[in-house]
């Protein structure tokens, strides 16, 4: 469940990125993921990263210097991890199954939860 919460909060934080940064980040992430899917081993993945650099491809697509894209992606990844961890520490999860009516509880043996997270934004 903790991993699910992490991914949920991470996805929500990514939505708060400025549009241009979000496009750059998602393109880089997609290209890197495609290389990871092609690779059978970690060594092969690193080889693919060198020969098909997602940074260089993203930089070319946005007509930006590669070092700018590299620094931007690194900054976003670091800040994203920090903000996700910080938000996750403050998030509370409550089981709300007992708040349902008897009929709703009898429909199945499902448990219901509510995730409360503080307001968060990448723009902190």
Kindly report the backbone phi and psi dihedral angles of residue 115, in degrees, each rounded to the nearest multiple of 5, phi listed first: -105, 115
pLDDT one-digit tens code per residue, 46-89: 999 999 999 999 999 999 999 999 999 999 999 999 999 888 88
* Residue 7 lies inside a defined structural domain of this protein: yes
CB 55, CB 77: distance < 8 Å: no
Is residue 122 domain-resident? Answer: no
pLDDT at 124 over 50: no
**Does 124 map to a domain?**
no
Q: Which residues contact 6 (CB under 8 A, 6 or more apart)?
A: 84, 88
Is the model's pLDDT at 107 over the cut of 70?
no
Residue-range definition of the domain harbouring residue 94: 2-116
Work out how many domains the chain is built from and give that number: 1
pLDDT at 93 over 70: no
Distances, alpha carbon 87 to alpha carbons 11, 95, 117, in Å: 12, 19, 7
The pLDDT score that the predictor gives to residue 121 is 66
Sign of CA dihedral 104, 106, 110, 114: positive
């Amino acid at each position: 469940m903790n991993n699910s919460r992490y991914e949920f909060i991470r996805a929500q934080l990514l939505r708060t990125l400025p549009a241009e940064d979000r496009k750059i980040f998602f393109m880089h992430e997609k290209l890197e993921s495609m290389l990871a899917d092609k690779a059978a081993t970690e060594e092969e993945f690193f080889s693919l990263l060198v020969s098909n650099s997602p940074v260089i491809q993203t930089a070319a697509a946005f007509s930006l210097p590669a070092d700018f894209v590299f620094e931007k992606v690194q900054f976003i990844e670091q800040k994203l991890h920090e903000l996700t961890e910080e938000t996750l520490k403050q998030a509370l999860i409550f089981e709300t199954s007992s708040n349902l009516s008897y009929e709703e509880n009898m429909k199945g043996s499902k448990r219901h939860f509510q995730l409360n997270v503080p307001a968060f934004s990448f723009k902190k």
